[in-house]
Amino acid sequence: MKKTSTRLADGRELVYYDLRDDTVRDAVDRRPLERTVTTSQVRRDPLLGDSVAVASHRQGRIYHPPADECPLCPSQGERLSEIPDSSYDVVVFENRFPSLAGDSGRCEVVCFTSDHNASFAELSEEQARLVLDAWTDRTSELSHLPSVEQVFCFENRGAEIGVTLGHPHGQIYAYPFTTPRTALMLRSLAAHKDATGGENLFDAVLDEELAGERVVLESEHWAAFVPYAAHWPYEVHLYPKRRVPDLLGLDEAARTEFPQVYLELLRRFDRIFGEGEPPTPYIAAWHQAPFGQLEDFEGVARDDFALHLELFTIRRTSGKLKFLAGSESGMNVFINDVPPERAAERLREVAS
């Protein structure tokens, strides 16, 4: 992998990740852009104890542009985009309309391929590995920013999820706090460790799932399963079998095998609902340990956390979506229409 860092016309950082070491990236952003002005701020809810990012400047972000005006495609002639070069393998850049900025963190866009009409599931294993390397490198780089406590790499796919740009891409949020979801996991981790005399909760969950009926696929270094209490109609958790706290902890064997396993999972998701159905909308979310102090979680060390990816869709059956209505949105109590055992069975049925 070759990494080349440059700057866009408004001062935002852009990084090319290339498969070939002899690739030269010297294209200049020719757009007449002024420096980005953001109004992002993080406000803490005193009752719930969580945080909300207020970012009014995002109201003006690009919304469903036609394909020939996509800002994530390479620049061609006088059609100038966010990527100055006329081609790329993988590219990452600071979001022009970030939810988090400055002392409130940072947001980046990850373009998986220059092919506007592709999807992650259609990438080659070599290209998917390059994306993994980019996620890992950005996690490392962002973790050193003084305002950053946790790094979250994710992909939103599909208009049903709320995606406003059709080009295959994901995002990285670098939060200035430990997210509420992660804090819940850390509290459960601490309580289980205390109650069992030191047993790791993530290890116990993985062992129990691998011995059960909800395993979707398993390889030498990775395991994918539908969790016992899945929140979403089709939800898969992907774990490396050797517990590590973040993407940086993966060894070469796990990195090499990841594209095979992950691409197979994504392709199965597209086959869940049968032939002729539109691509399955999904969210793919990497859970990594925070880089900040864990003093609020007594007895828990950073290495106790287990890196894992959650992949889920809001489609519950053909032509029908799972909406977060009263119980889910109002009280955070999910109601799942698809039994996790049946979801796992279906995901095994649609294997390549």
Q: Which residues are annotated as a binding site for Zn(2+)?
A: 70, 73, 116, 167
**Beta-sheet strand order (sheet of 106-111):** 2-7, 13-18, 90-94, 106-111, 169-175, 150-157, 282-287, 308-313, 234-240, 222-225, 215-218
Residue 57: active-site member: no
234-240 and 315-317 strand pairing: unpaired
* Residue among 57, 64, 169, 308 flagged as catalytic: 169
**DSSP-derived secondary structure for 82-100:** SB-SS--SEEEEE-SS-SS
Contact between residue 169 and residue 112 where contact means Cβ atoms under 8 Å apart: yes
**DSSP-derived secondary structure for 51-85:** EEEE-GGGGGS--S--GGG-TTSBPBTTB--SB-S
The pair of three-digit structure tokens given for residue 306, joined into one six-digit string: 């287990």
The pair of three-digit structure tokens given for residue 141, joined into one six-digit string: 């780089």
Cα separations in angstroms, 256 against 120, 128, 217, 219, 240: 17, 10, 17, 12, 12
H-type alpha helices, 63-217? 125-143, 180-196, 201-210
Contact between residue 70 and residue 81 where contact means Cβ atoms under 8 Å apart: yes
Q: Which residues are catalytic?
A: 169
